Amino acid sequence: MDRVILIKYGELSTKKGNRNYFINTLYNNVKKKLASYDVKINKDRARMYITFKNEELDSIKAVIDKIFGIHMYHIAYIVASEEESIKEKVLEILKEKEFSTFKVETKRSDKNFKIHSGDMNNILGGLILKNIAGVKVDVHNPEVLVKVEIRENNTFIYLNSYEGSGGYPVGSQPKGMLMLSGGIDSPVAAYLAMKRGVVIEAVYFEAIPHTSLEARNKVIELTRKLCAYTDKINLHVVNFTPIQEAIYKYCRGDYCITIMRRMMYRIMEMITKKHGGYVIINGESIGQVASQTLTSMNVINAVTNIPVIRPVACLDKLEIIDIARKIDTFDISILPYEDCCTVFVPKHPVINPRMDVVLKEEEKFAYEKMLEEAVESIDTFTITSANQEFSDLL
Ligand code: ATP
Ligand code: MG
């Protein structure tokens, strides 16, 4: 083993009181995500080290790139903290590279190591100038930055830095219940919430036979994509057909969407309490459709006191699409299967719904029992990134 992946904690370090909790959460997440690889993972207060097999490096990097809480990582060579070993390794690494300017940056955290950082920079710089033809030092904008970190037993030497996905480790916050449709917005909302460390469970409202099993498959596939950022996600499928049919039978056409969304929120509140969630998360974006004007949001949100987090509320559609492409959900989201909102959309949904009208319309049918039945008959699937047969989940 002469190389390791060296992960620095970045933003985590500012969370003084919670530091250990954050580090342990990240450590457990890394361990789970790399369970199928031949790796050893060690951590201390400042960083994490992962040993790896060379042939697995690219694939491990792809996994690490999606673990929240990692801001920066390096592929570092390890040698014993001895002057000769360090010199030998630095030369060996640089001889393989083509470059014309460089800079050495030494950090000595082992104060028993006799040579001071500045002196070590000079020693290594001189060594490189002497042994590699045509190169010179550039302290401001070097092509190659050689970092040498001298620690108690080992010294880490690396040239390149890779950006991680940032955020906080999933699990550093408790559970939030995500309203996941087959659209573009809600998977993006899920990604942004997970980036803040939230554990998510997804809830999908379906209205068979008005919606198809393909629509459900779409949601399952979206959930699977989201699993790249966590280990597994529970997906609760709610049979919304009776409620939806009742709304369209008894209520004013232009208020159907408003009432339908209030029913969804009521069910979300029940599921959130049942499963120990703290917030509801959805893909609403201000002004995008009639049910997402501020007036609509106010009237719809009035059915629950549980906080509703709307991570994409203030993003433009194009900004949302950019993220959807980045997290690879876009192509699934644009598949054409109708979901229960699109099937029932009235010609002119109300843009500024009035609370008194909504309350009057909702008195027209006994929905409470229906809500309870919907929650009792939920089907729950546990989705992972691993390939599962669709048929197992239908
Ligand atoms: P689009 O990306 O086309 O806007 P959308 O899924 O955002 O699709 P909207 O009608 O804008 O559709 O719904 C707003 C939000 O409400 C969604 O982002 C989602 O969080 C939630 N939602 C809508 N329909 C459903 C559904 N059938 N099941 C679960 N959540 C839903
Ligand atoms: Mg939307």
Residues across the chain: 394
Q: What residue numbers bound the domain in which 224 lies? A: 175-393
Nearest CA to ligand 1 atom 25: 181
Cα 303 from chain centroid? 29
Counting the structural domains of the chain, the total is: 2
Q: Determine the Cα–Cα distance for residues 105 and 266; give it in Å rounded to an integer.
A: 58
- What's the chain's Rg over C-alpha atoms? 27
Do residue 215 and residue 264 come from a single domain? yes
Domain membership flag for residue 28: yes
Q: Which of 117, 138, 163 is the last residue in one of the domains?
A: 163
What is the token pair recorded at 221? 């596939």
Domain membership flag for residue 359: yes
Query: Cβ contacts of residue 379 below 8 Å, gap of 6+?
Result: 236, 237
Ligand 1 atom nearest residue 203's Cα: 29
Q: Which of 116, 134, 163 is the last residue in one of the domains?
A: 163
Domain membership flag for residue 248: yes
Do residue 104 and residue 233 come from a single domain? no
Query: Cβ contacts of residue 366 below 8 Å, gap of 6+?
Result: none
State the pLDDT at residue 14: 59
What is the token pair recorded at 188? 């993006």
Neighbours of 41 (CB within 10 A): 18
CA 383–ligand 1 middle distance (angstroms): 20
DSSP string, 274-324: HTT--EEE----TTSSGGGSHHHHHHHHTT--S-EE-TTTT--HHHHHHHH
CA 323–ligand 2 middle distance (angstroms): 14
> Is any ligand 1 atom within 6 A of the Cβ of residue 205?
yes
Domain membership flag for residue 73: yes
CA 284–ligand 2 middle distance (angstroms): 5
Do residue 145 and residue 192 come from a single domain? no
> Is any ligand 1 atom within 6 A of the Cβ of residue 240?
no
Do residue 124 and residue 213 come from a single domain? no
Contact 259, 158 (CB under 8 A): no
CA 185–ligand 2 middle distance (angstroms): 5
Query: Phi-psi category of 166—alpha, beta or left, where left has phi over 0 and alpha has psi -120 to 50?
Result: left
> Is any ligand 1 atom within 6 A of the Cβ of residue 345?
no
> Is any ligand 1 atom within 6 A of the Cβ of residue 185?
yes
Do residue 158 and residue 297 come from a single domain? no
pTM for the model: 0.92
Q: Determine the Cα–Cα distance for residues 337 and 213; give it in Å rounded to an integer.
A: 9
Do residue 105 and residue 182 come from a single domain? no
Contacts 24+ apart (CB under 8 A), 128-135: 128/90, 128/91, 128/94, 128/102, 128/104, 131/91, 131/95, 132/91, 132/94, 132/95, 134/100, 135/99, 135/100, 135/101, 135/102
Do residue 137 and residue 204 come from a single domain? no
Do residue 148 and residue 18 come from a single domain? yes
| CATH number of the domain where residue 377 is located | 3.40.50.620
Q: Determine the Cα–Cα distance for residues 43 and 257; give it in Å rounded to an integer.
A: 51
Q: Determine the Cα–Cα distance for residues 81 and 149; give it in Å rounded to an integer.
A: 9
Q: Determine the Cα–Cα distance for residues 145 and 167; give it in Å rounded to an integer.
A: 26
Do residue 151 and residue 297 come from a single domain? no
Sign of CA dihedral 85, 87, 88, 91: positive
CA 173–ligand 2 middle distance (angstroms): 25
> Is any ligand 1 atom within 6 A of the Cβ of residue 169?
no
Domain membership flag for residue 90: yes
Domain membership flag for residue 169: no
**Ligand 1, pocket-test mutation among 180, 186, 223, most atoms within 8 A of CB:** 186
Do residue 141 and residue 99 come from a single domain? yes
Nearest CA to ligand 1 atom 9: 284
Query: Cβ contacts of residue 1 below 8 Å, gap of 6+?
Result: 51, 78
Q: Determine the Cα–Cα distance for residues 344 and 205; give it in Å rounded to an integer.
A: 13
Contact 250, 365 (CB under 8 A): yes
pLDDT of the chain, 394 residues: tens digit per residue: 589 999 988 666 555 678 889 999 999 999 999 999 999 999 988 889 999 999 999 999 999 999 999 999 999 999 999 999 999 999 999 999 999 999 999 999 888 999 999 999 999 999 999 999 999 999 999 999 999 999 988 999 999 899 999 999 999 999 999 999 999 999 999 999 999 999 999 999 999 999 999 999 999 999 999 999 999 999 999 999 999 999 999 999 999 999 999 999 999 999 999 999 999 999 999 998 888 999 999 999 999 999 999 999 999 999 999 999 999 999 999 998 766 556 566 778 999 999 999 999 999 999 999 999 999 999 999 999 875 555 455 5
> Is any ligand 1 atom within 6 A of the Cβ of residue 341?
yes
Do residue 148 and residue 290 come from a single domain? no
State the pLDDT at residue 1: 59
Q: Which of 107, 142, 163 is the last residue in one of the domains?
A: 163
